[in-house]
Amino acid sequence: MGLVFALGAMLWGVGMLVGAGRRLRFGMLAVLFGGVVLMQLVLPDGHGARVATGGSAGPWLLLWGLIGIGLVYAGGVRALKRRARVAGADTGARPGVFSERELDRYARHIVLREIGGPGQKRLKQARVLVVGAGGLGAPALLYLAAAGVGTIGVIDDDEVENSNLQRQVIHRVDTIGMPKVFSAKRAMKAQNPDIEVRAYHRRLDEGNATELFGDYDVILDGTDNFATRYLVNRFAVETGKPLISGALSQWEGQLSVFDPAKGGPCYQCIFPEAPADGLGPSCAEAGVIGPLPGVVGAMMALEAIKLITGAGAGLRGEMLIYDGLFGESRKLTLKQRENCPVCGVKQEVT
């Protein structure tokens, strides 16, 4: 057998010297070892050629079997990587491939039955806009970035203040005074350099909402005032985009998905009017426990991932209320109002 291996090494070396490709060199080795097996099977016992090449076909057949197993394994690994790269092409997804770094990063997603390669591809090609880079926006942005949402927009006109750092975990001491959207972008790109982050340092208003919302697939509202919430809701309905809305107060948070285009109410169906002054205090007035925005903001990111990938059941037509003080949660069923001025059935006037 040693003679055969020596001949094999010689063939490999000669192939390298003459510049033969790896496939050709492997072909020459296959011919050599195939010929040895054929001799062992055809020539009679005791023949000199059989003795010089091992005397039995058994070891060579075992070697061929091990080589075959190795080739099948290597081919399977290549097929899985190829499948992960092209997953989603048969579902109408836009072109794009995963780098080796991305495949390794998102491996825990890809092995989930509900997400897999196609779901991760949808995340890579998704565009999500987060309104507000404060308490709710901070964890939502970080988890969307970590999950591999390909394009994330964030709009906010505030700057980072020292009092934000108790709960707005995307910001740091060294970004105090910096616009929140740029502080958030820095943290998100440091977390995942393979995504695109679009920072809009401005206030959302009537003039920019339609065009801005039109560029995204899903809208997350992490604002803390009713005027902006109503504005976000109205333009989400007008542009047909699902809206994931969260709110906080002291120890309690709430979360819902408003998507009248696919059934269920909009935000203004549930909250027809803003509360009177003093009945709906902001976090600055009423206070909020630090980790609560992290809990609700992470849930908002989770709902976005479910919407994009089609996994599980989202909170369309439902509101999840979480009580952090007593560790309790409950869900309410929400219904559309026919006379809602934003999404309700409009009566024809004659």
Q: Tokens 């836009």 — which residue?
A: 94
Return the pLDDT at 262. Answer: 87
**What's the CA angle centered on 191, arms 314 and 145, to 5 degrees?**
25
State the CATH architecture for 126-333.
3-Layer(aba) Sandwich (3.40)
Return the pLDDT at 75. Answer: 67
Distance between CA 129 and CA 197 in Å, rounded?
A: 10
Q: pLDDT, tens digit, for every residue of 137-165?
A: 999 999 999 999 999 999 999 999 999 99
Q: What percent of the chain has pLDDT over 70?
A: 81
Residue-averaged pLDDT of the chain: 84
Answer whether 133's CB lies under 8 Å from 150's CB.
no
Distance between CA 135 and CA 3 in Å, rounded?
A: 73
Helices assigned H by DSSP within the chain: 2-17, 22-42, 48-52, 58-86, 100-105, 107-110, 116-125, 137-147, 180-191, 209-214, 226-239, 267-270, 283-286, 291-309
Higher pLDDT, 278 or 10: 10
Q: Which amino acid is located at 60 in the chain?
A: W
Return the pLDDT at 321. Answer: 96
Q: Which whole number is the average pLDDT over 258-269?
A: 90
Q: Which CA distances in Å does 263 have to 5, 237, 309, 317? A: 71, 12, 18, 7
Given a cut of 70, whether residue 339 has pLDDT beyond it is: yes
Q: pLDDT, tens digit, for every residue of 283-301?
A: 666 789 999 999 999 999 9
Local confidence band at 90 (pLDDT 50, 70, 90 cut-offs): very low
Domain with CATH 3.40.50.720 in the chain: 126-333
Higher pLDDT, 322 or 350: 322
Return the pLDDT at 107. Answer: 92
Given a cut of 60, whether residue 84 has pLDDT beyond it is: no
Answer whether 272's CB lies under 8 Å from 337's CB.
yes
Given a cut of 80, whether residue 331 has pLDDT beyond it is: yes
Q: Which whole number is the average pLDDT over 241-247?
A: 95
Q: What percent of the chain has pLDDT over 90?
A: 58
Given a cut of 70, whether residue 4 has pLDDT beyond it is: no
Return the pLDDT at 347. Answer: 39
- Stated as kind and residue range, the H or E segment containing 199 is strand 196-200
Answer whether 204's CB lies under 8 Å from 228's CB.
yes
